[in-house]
Chain A
Amino acid sequence: MKRNLFMIMAAVAAFAFIGCGEDSKTELQFKNSEGSDGKINDIVWEDGDQTWNSTTGWKQNELTGSKEVSKTTGTITKCTLTPDSTSGDLPPVAEPDILFDLGNSNFAGNISLNEGSSQTFIVQVLDPETSGVKKK
């Protein structure tokens, strides 16, 4: 009886373990582009489905780190940045307009994430006075 019970528990545990392995998370992270004109401080995905925050800001080439998102269709609904033209101990001073680059055209609508995969977006902060040429 004890042996049967042990075997059943082991089977349940193994099944649960396999089940966990098959649990497919959709993850998202951002990288501040090398050519950015500022640091990113806050990013909010789809009205708070997921948030990233750094008081010091993510500098050029820094990754925010991956986080799981629930909503696989959406956009960056909030973002703040500290332009490089500011200096010293300053809070974020601008909320930029946000555009997604899908091939040849920028647009500000929703994007679709592939469910169950980990996706990285390069974000680039553009200062309209210095960003005549798109930098990467």
Chain B
Amino acid sequence: MKTITSCLLITFCFMIKTPSFSDGVFLWTKISGKWNVDLSSHTLCSSRVSTNTYGYSDLIDNNSVTSIPEINRFTDIECGFELHSPVDDNHFTLIFSSSHYGLNFYGIRFNGTKEKLNRISLIQSKPINKDLSSKEKNNFVIENLISSDLALSYNSPIVLKLKINKSKLKVYVNDKVAIDYPLNEKVQAGKIGFSHKNNLVQVKTIYVRNGKEIIFTDDFSRNTVKTYTVTAEKVRDSK
């Protein structure tokens, strides 16, 4: 009887520890671009270099995906990625603490030339006029909070780690501190995501932790990108 009770207790504990991120079919919503999970390499890929300018938000103006669940109380984000086929003025951004429609977010943005990635920045997107409708075009600004130079090659793995301790953000690139910044507000809630322009992206790993506990991840072993489609069918043709 004791054994059965113990087994049930262990099973129950395991069930309540199972992260909720694996409950749904999709983990990501495609905002813009051409994102898909490559099942052979187990990576999240974006295959559109160019971008469209709509003016609603930075996310929809670049090639972006964001997580479907909001991720709260995280302390660490770890992301392994590679960039390919760059042209001048390209960037890749790890988005965090994003509102669900993408006007407000923080991001770690890598900027580069055709030859190398040469800059990393902590950026913040926010509305210019909070009183205007969210549907208003060109009502957002991207602020550069802090930047530093770096030199990273394309076509090779890059590991980006964010650590938030109380009100301090530390960003590591390949285990070296790249940004150390005091945050003025709590940024440990909201969606995470990726956006890029003028390059191709392969995201290989993503882990979001609260302490040692993984609270969000994707092993890219199945299609987890929710993509809306529009089908068009001719119905009338009149002279």
Contact of A80 among B54, B102, B103 (CB under 8 A): B54
Contact of B31 among A94, A99, A118, A125 (CB under 8 A): A94
Q: Which residues from chain A contact B156 at a C-beta distance below 8 Å?
A: none
Q: How far is the CB of B71 from chain A (nearest CB, A)?
A: 18
Complex contacts, A56 vs chain B, CB 8 Å: 135
A36 to B31: give the CA distance in the assembly, Å.
18
Of the residues A40, A102, A116, contact of B230 by C-beta under 8 Å: A40
Contact B231 A123 (CB under 8 A): yes
Q: In the assembled complex, how far is the CB of residue A41 from the closest CB belonging to chain B, in whole angstroms?
A: 8
Contact B232 A123 (CB under 8 A): yes
Cross-chain contact B32 with A95 (CB below 8 angstroms)? yes
Interface size on B, residues (CB 8 A): 36
Q: Which residue of B lies closest to A43 (CB)?
A: B230
Q: Are A128 and B228 in contact (CB under 8 A)?
A: yes
B15-56 near A? 1/0 per residue, CB < 8 Å: 000000000011001111110000000000000000010101
A91 touches B56 (CB 8 A): yes
The residues of B that contact A118 with a CB separation of less than 8 Å are 236-239
Q: Are A99 and B52 interface neighbours, CB within 8 A?
A: no
The count of chain A contact residues (Cβ–Cβ below 8 Å) is: 48
In the complex, the answer to whether B233 meets A122 with C-beta atoms within 8 Å is yes
A:33-54 near B, CB below 8 Å: 37-38, 40, 42
Assembled-state Cα–Cα distance A99/B229 (Å): 7
Bound together, the chains give a CA A92 to CA B54 distance in angstroms of 9
Instruction: Give the distance in Å from the alpha carbon of A93 to the alpha carbon of B31 in the complex.
Output: 6
A101 touches B232 (CB 8 A): yes
> B227–A117 contact, CB under 8 A?
no
Kindly provide the distance from the CB of B97 to the nearest chain A CB, expressed in whole angstroms. Answer: 17
Contacts A80-B60, A117-B237 given; indicate if A96 touches B230 (C-beta within 8 A). yes
CA of A117 to CA of B230 in the docked complex: distance in angstroms?
24
Given A80-B60, A127-B228, CB of A90 within 8 Å of CB of B235 = no
Question: How many angstroms from the CA of A114 to the CA of B238 in the assembled complex?
Answer: 9
Query: Would you call A81 and B228 a contact (CB within 8 A)?
Result: yes
B238 surroundings in chain A (CB, below 8 A): 117-118
In this assembly, does B163 line the interface, its C-beta being within 8 Å of a C-beta of chain A?
A: no
Q: Are A98 and B101 in contact (CB under 8 A)?
A: no
A contact residues around B232 at 8 Å (CB): 30, 76, 98-101, 121-124
Given contacts A91-B101, A117-B238, contact A124 B231 (CB under 8 A): yes
In the assembled complex, the Cα of A129 lies from the Cα of B232 at a distance in Å of 19
Judge whether B234 is part of the interface by a CB distance below 8 angstroms. yes
Chain A residues in the interface with B (C-beta under 8 A): 30-31, 37-38, 40, 42, 55-56, 76, 78-81, 83, 86, 88-102, 106, 111, 114, 116-129, 131
Which 7 A-B residue pairings sit nearest by Cβ, starting from the closest?
A91-B56, A95-B32, A120-B236, A96-B228, A101-B233, A121-B232, A55-B135
